[in-house]
Amino acid sequence: MIEARHIEALKGITGEKGLLTGSDMAAYETGARYDKGRAAFVARPASTAETSAVVSYCVRNGIALVPQSGNTGLVSGSTPDDSGLQGILSLDRLTAPFALDLVNRSVKAGAGLRLSDLNGRLEESGLFFPIDLGADPRLGGMIATNTGGSRFLRYGDVRRNTLGLTVVLADEAGTVLDLSSDLRKNNTGIDWKQLFIGTTGAFGIITECVLNLEPAPKQSATALLVPASPEAVATLLVAMEDALGSYLSAFEGMSGNAVRAALDHVPSLRNPFQGGVVPDFVILAEISRSTSPREGEQPLDAVLEEVLAAIWEQEGAPLTDAFVGPPHEIWALRHALSEGVKHSGRLIAFDLSFRRGDIMPFLAHMKAEMPDHFEDVTICDFGHIGDGGVHFNLVVAKDDPRLADPDFEADLRAWVFTVAVEGFGGSFSAEHGIGRKNQVFYDQYTPEKIRALAAGLKTITSPGPLGTMTF
């Protein structure tokens, strides 16, 4: 553990409630997916100035910091290691400012504000931050991992919706970079904020952000679609995009295993399938408008039904069944998948991305090959077919003796990533960042020149020990 004088000095910067030690740190030391470490302290600065002072002190005294936002990540990117020598810098008190600009359709907010709190405050204005996630992260972590979510197809990812940032660098001065422009067009030089989006906090700690907002949907319609075959999924996606254009806001894939896990775990969910028989694969499709209904305008339910009927009548139709239902019920099923899968056994999760046409071939390949490589491992995949992302979840029985062998998960991860990256040209991290779990694969798949460039940028921006990633 670090010396007591350091604890007292940091407490002098943040105040008593801004620095945690001992058992008060437990929630910060434990990640969302089984990872757990030992922290030297948890610093909880309440402003950019306090963040700068904490970072400056730690860099000058050789104390490593792990930035932590909502701690909802899945790759051990926000929790300390087991040494007890790393401090956690939590964003949870960085909830100010909150400055809404209705005309510019933007908001300046603290990086510690949760997504639900942000959209709750925005509700009265008719605007929202259009990144839909199953978890409830804080804004800083969303930016640091460039999250996408279920409506990427319509609104894009966090990168597309970030206008500006305020960042504290891990150098001896705790340098504050004001990159908080709220301009949508500014071509006067390098767009420096991009250096801190999607790079997991390695180059600096985000304390404030300026975000693009969108008009909240005022009309929506949803359906559960059963494709004729795995190969028909891509055909169905293209057909719906051709027919619906920008109305199509979500096209989510859900495996039968994942749906059954959700239905088993959440008794309040209604099973919408005929006879209660869950198909092998289901698509959740959503269309939406941000305008109020106009007189004589066709309701979106009717629009969706009409489009699906036309697709159904095509020769070799890619669709065998469809259920148009209330959005809140259909999205409740989608949002229950993560918890359902997690409670069905020991979960080994992957966040992968592919060219859109390669998702279903990858899933078919893994379904066929898994029993030969790792028997008694259940695939419970779901994800964002519309943007090429898939949450490739593998479930192992909690009493499986292989779980006691650390090589088992390591070998399983290596096999999945080899197939995904080398076999299908995919990414081993779609939107969860690197973290300790993915470090070895970053080292393996990142070209040496790119790694050297990243290491050089780290030396220039934040030479102090910051984050869990190494270059």
Instruction: Write down the pLDDT at residue 320.
Output: 94
Instruction: Write down the pLDDT at residue 423.
Output: 98
Strand 86-90, strand 64-68: pairing: parallel
**Cβ contact 140:202 at 8 Å:** no
The angle that helices 300-312 and 232-244 make with each other, rounded to 10 degrees, is 130
Instruction: Write down the pLDDT at residue 471.
Output: 81
pLDDT tens digits in sequence order for the chain, 471 residues long: 789 999 999 999 999 999 999 999 999 999 887 888 999 999 999 999 999 999 999 999 999 999 999 988 888 889 999 999 999 999 999 999 999 999 999 999 999 999 999 999 999 999 999 998 878 999 999 999 999 989 999 999 999 999 999 999 999 999 999 999 999 999 999 999 999 999 999 999 999 999 999 999 999 999 999 999 999 999 999 999 999 999 999 999 999 999 999 999 998 999 999 899 999 999 999 999 999 999 999 999 999 999 999 999 988 899 999 999 999 999 999 999 999 999 999 999 999 999 999 999 999 999 999 999 999 999 999 999 999 999 999 999 999 999 999 899 999 999 999 999 999 999 999 988 898 889 999 999 999 999 999 999 999 999 999 998 888
Instruction: Write down the pLDDT at residue 325.
Output: 94
Instruction: Kindly state the tokens that stand for 283.
Output: 């698509």
Instruction: Write down the pLDDT at residue 446.
Output: 96
**Cβ contact 221:290 at 8 Å:** no
Q: d(Cα 326, Cα 470) in Å, to the nearest integer? A: 46
**Cβ contact 97:109 at 8 Å:** yes
What lies within 8 Å, CB to CB, of 291 at 6+ separation is 218, 219
Instruction: Write down the pLDDT at residue 274.
Output: 87
Round the CA-based radius of gyration of the chain to a whole number and report it: 23
Instruction: Write down the pLDDT at residue 77.
Output: 85
Instruction: Write down the pLDDT at residue 419.
Output: 98
- List, in order of start, the domains of the chain with CATH numbers: 4-90 (3.30.43.10), 98-215 (3.30.465.10), 219-337 (3.30.70.2190), 345-432 (3.30.70.2740)
What lies within 8 Å, CB to CB, of 147 at 6+ separation is 131, 133, 137, 157, 158, 431
If DSSP codes are grouped into helix, strand and coil, which group holds residue 136?
coil
Instruction: Kindly state the tokens that stand for 260.
Output: 């059954």
CA distances from 94 to 27, 50, 66, 460 (A): 18, 10, 16, 25
Instruction: Write down the pLDDT at residue 355.
Output: 97
- What is the identity of the amino acid at 224? L
Q: d(Cα 76, Cα 271) in Å, to the nearest integer? A: 35
Instruction: Write down the pLDDT at residue 373.
Output: 97
Instruction: Write down the pLDDT at residue 180.
Output: 95
**Cβ contact 103:92 at 8 Å:** no
CA distances from 423 to 110, 234, 380, 415, 420 (A): 41, 19, 21, 11, 6
- At residue 437's C-alpha, the angle toward residues 35 and 23, to 5°, is 25
**What b/e sequence results for 293-316 when a residue is b if at least 16 CB atoms lie within 10 Å of its CB, and e otherwise?**
eeeeeeebbebbeebbeebeeeee
